[in-house]
Structure 1
Amino acid sequence: MCRVILTLSLALFLQTAHADNHGSMEAKSLYDRLGGIAPISVVVSDFIDALVPDTALNANPKIDAARMAVPPEYLKYHVTAMVCQVTGGPCQYHGRDMKSSHAHLAITEKEWDRMVEIFLQILSRYGVPEKETQELLEIVGSTKGDIVTMR
């Protein structure tokens, strides 16, 4: 029931953001246009839930081992805080930097592309508008050099 309420809240927030006139949308932070912490946390939760069991990603034994060692709830907490912060919200991310967090995982371009594919599927599921999707992709893309270590 709680998940249904959060999903409906996300849809309402996104519709409101999309319905605003273009001028006022420009003045709002990405965080505000995404609807704030509640919808961001729902999207992040579903994203992590899709990443953790993904067989293509877990074919990398280092990623698979990390999935076993790091609880999904811990990832959800940190990723939510990070997304909140980098989109202009009030949260503060206190985790490790992307390079040191991912260096030991030997992530490839193919694995990166799979993560982006899953991310786009989740954003699409929640009807995140194209403009906000592109802004999120730019933010995520800015971390690629620190995450992909196997070319």
Structure 2
Amino acid sequence: MRTHFIRRSYYLLTLLAACVCISTSAVAQTAPDAVYQDLGGKTGISKIVGDFLPIVLADTRINAAFKDTDMERLALMLTEQFCEVSGGPCKYSGKNMTEAHKGMNVTNAQFNALAEDLQIAMEKNNIPSSVSNKLVAKLAPMQRPIVSK
């Protein structure tokens, strides 16, 4: 009888441990659209982009690169891109980053200035730094195809 009790206790402990592991890993995993949701969905992203572009245009480090840019179209493309990259339902319909920036001679300093301006826009929209850092991290791989100088 004691052996039966020990086996049953062992079985229950094993089952309990498995449940704890499953629930812990479920908590550790985040939804694929968590960053998108934390940015406020498409509405929040549109608001961030709406605040971002005036900051870019006022930034003397990079504003000259945008003097002939269709800012309305850029706002649409950035909203789509940020939405898709953050895990939202949008699909970016613009050119790939290499093609879009061909001949612009973008430097690392300019790329970094743009990233700083984006973070300022997110701060203005009360996006927690942990969330803004996640978006910037998702955008960071674009540096290689954008920077050419």
- Classify the TM-score, shorter chain: 0.7 to 0.9
1:25 positional shift: 8.5
* RMSD of aligned alpha carbons: 2.1
Unaligned residue ranges in structure 1 (runs of 5+): 1-22
Unaligned residue ranges in structure 2 (runs of 5+): 1-26
Alpha-carbon distance change, 80 to 25 in structure 1, aligned in 2, over 3 angstroms: farther
Asked whether the equivalents of residues 56 and 111 of structure 1 are also in contact (C-alpha less than 8 Å), the reply is yes
The aligned residue for residue 69 of structure 2 is: 70
Which letter maps to 2:108? Answer: E
Alpha-carbon distance change, 91 to 55 in structure 1, aligned in 2, over 3 angstroms: same
Q: Normalising by the residue count of structure 1, what TM-score does the alignment of the two structures yield?
A: 0.73
Whether 1:57 aligns to 2:56 is no
Asked whether the equivalents of residues 47 and 122 of structure 1 are also in contact (C-alpha less than 8 Å), the reply is yes
The aligned residue for residue 24 of structure 2 is: none
Asked whether the equivalents of residues 43 and 123 of structure 1 are also in contact (C-alpha less than 8 Å), the reply is yes
The aligned residue for residue 32 of structure 1 is: 37
Q: Which protein shows a greater Rg? A: 2
1:127 positional shift: 1.7
Which letter maps to 2:57? Answer: V
Asked whether the equivalents of residues 32 and 87 of structure 2 are also in contact (C-alpha less than 8 Å), the reply is no
- Spell out structure 1 runs of 4+ moving beyond 6 A: none
Quick one: percent identity of the two aligned structures? 27
Tell me how many residue pairs correspond in the alignment: 123
Cα distance in 1 between the residues matched to 2:39 and 2:28: 14
1:95 positional shift: 0.5
Asked whether the equivalents of residues 49 and 72 of structure 1 are also in contact (C-alpha less than 8 Å), the reply is no
